A and B are shown apart, each in its own frame.
Chain A
Amino acid sequence: MGSHRFHLIPLCVVLFFPFSSFSQTVTGSTSALGDGRVAEWMYGEHIAPIAKLPFTAKAELEMVNQLPDGTLITHNTYNRIARDILGRTYNEGRKWIDPTASGEPQLLRVELYDPTIGARTVLFPLTKIARQWASAPTTGALAGQNSTATAETSREQIGVDTIEGVPVRGVRVTQTYKSGALGNDRPISIVTEYWYSEELKINLLTKRTDPRFGVQTVRVTELTRQEPEASLFAVSSDYKVVNETVPGQQGGMAVSSGGSLAAAPLPPGAFRAGVNGTTVPVCVYCPIPVIPTKPAPRRRMEPWCCKSW
């Protein structure tokens, strides 16, 4: 029972802010029926919406928790992640499975962010609902930004390495909560190692060791640095789009009444590029527009100095 108390804190965050502009994606939960709404969860990979750094990859998530009697409990899942040349991001959330389970973890949600119009969309494939709201862009995923005000935080460089062929630098962040900060009778230390790619502006490996929740790992694999399929960032026509924007509270640009770019009405006879088997047009002549500046009107100099003479 005592260990369950610690799990209530993150659960409340999920319940009260289900559609706020989280910089991280809640990727799933494991909970036992009838256990008093106690659940564990962890963040997945954060993808900063940065243009001109396209990629697709798989984020492999693992949670390993050790019980006081030594029992190890392991759960895994993965999320497909992507970012296109415009900086639009795609981030899945799949159900957790235990290592003995076969088959693919069920896709529960897909989070899309379109920085070009400041719109965040969460797709729920099971109900075919797309919840959408205007949202300010999230900040970049700098390594180890998750410190909290109540913890003493120290940072330590732990070297450089290569993951998926990409150079990364490691940072170890240690957060120490003093006695009493979390109801704890002695200090608690949480150690998180981030292996951050300057080239891609994402963490390629994150390992968090928290005495309350065990070891949580997010590892990016199957990385390809090519433009992902445009259809990943589109809302399929069989989804019902629900605009969740609260008037006056949106950040970034307002979403038009048509919702996202993907949900905007198409001109008659046009298809959405990259969706439902339609390919994407390729530019063959696209010179950079040049805007001439108008020369400033030349001011006629009055010979004031000489008039009085």
Chain B
Amino acid sequence: MVLQIVVTAEGQAENISVIRGPGFGLEQTVIDAVRTWRFKPAHGRDGNPVATAVPVEVTFRIR
């Protein structure tokens, strides 16, 4: 599953959109899980943390 997420300057995942999903209604569960992820934020040219959009490939388990 491929998502585009925005990692905020605080390192949280927001604005999550599905680029390629598995279907079967599984996307929302994965998106909810990705919302809990935490990142070291990217830095802009001035060296300060900035919000950035990144593609993310997510693998998941079905239990």
Contacts and interface: CB of A to CB of B under 8 A. Distances in A.
Interface of A: 51, 85-86, 116-117, 230, 253, 261, 264, 266-267, 269-273, 276-293
A278 B42 CA distance: 7
Nearest to B22: A291
Given A86-B2, A284-B38, 12 more contacts: A253-B20, A267-B53, A271-B52, A273-B53, A278-B44, A279-B43, A280-B42, A280-B54, A281-B11, A285-B38, A287-B36, A289-B61
Contact of B42 (A264, A269, A281): A281
Contacts of B33: 287, 289-290
Contacts of A86: 2, 55, 57
Nearest to A267: B15
Contact of B53 (A116, A272, A290): A272
B4 A283 contact: no
A286 B42 contact: no
A87 to B, nearest CB: 9
Contacts of B40: 281-284
A116 B2 CA distance: 7
Q: Give chain B's interface secondary structure class.
A: strand
B53 A280 contact: no
Interface of B: 2, 4, 6-7, 11, 15, 19-20, 26, 29-30, 33-34, 36-45, 50-55, 57-63
Nearest to B40: A282
A290 B37 CA distance: 13
B19 A117 contact: yes
Given A279-B43, A282-B39, A116 B57 contact: yes
Contacts of A277: 44-45
B51 A271 contact: yes
Contacts of A269: 51
Contact of A271 (B29, B44, B62): B44
Contact of A283 (B2, B37, B60): B37
A292 B63 contact: yes
A140 to B, nearest CB: 19
A230 B11 CA distance: 19
Contacts of B30: 289, 291
Contacts of B57: 51, 85-86, 116
Interface pairs A-B: 10 shortest CB-CB: A289-B33, A273-B52, A277-B45, A281-B7, A289-B60, A285-B38, A281-B39, A116-B2, A270-B51, A282-B40
A298 B52 CA distance: 47
Contacts of B34: 289
A283 B11 CA distance: 9
A39 B61 CA distance: 53
A286 B59 CA distance: 11
20 contacts: A86-B57, A116-B57, A230-B54, A266-B53, A267-B6, A267-B53, A269-B51, A270-B6, A271-B44, A273-B42, A279-B43, A280-B52, A281-B7, A281-B54, A282-B39, A283-B38, A283-B40, A288-B60, A289-B29, A291-B60
Nearest to A276: B45
B24 to A, nearest CB: 10
A278 B50 contact: yes
A288 B36 CA distance: 11
A83 to B, nearest CB: 14
B35 to A, nearest CB: 10
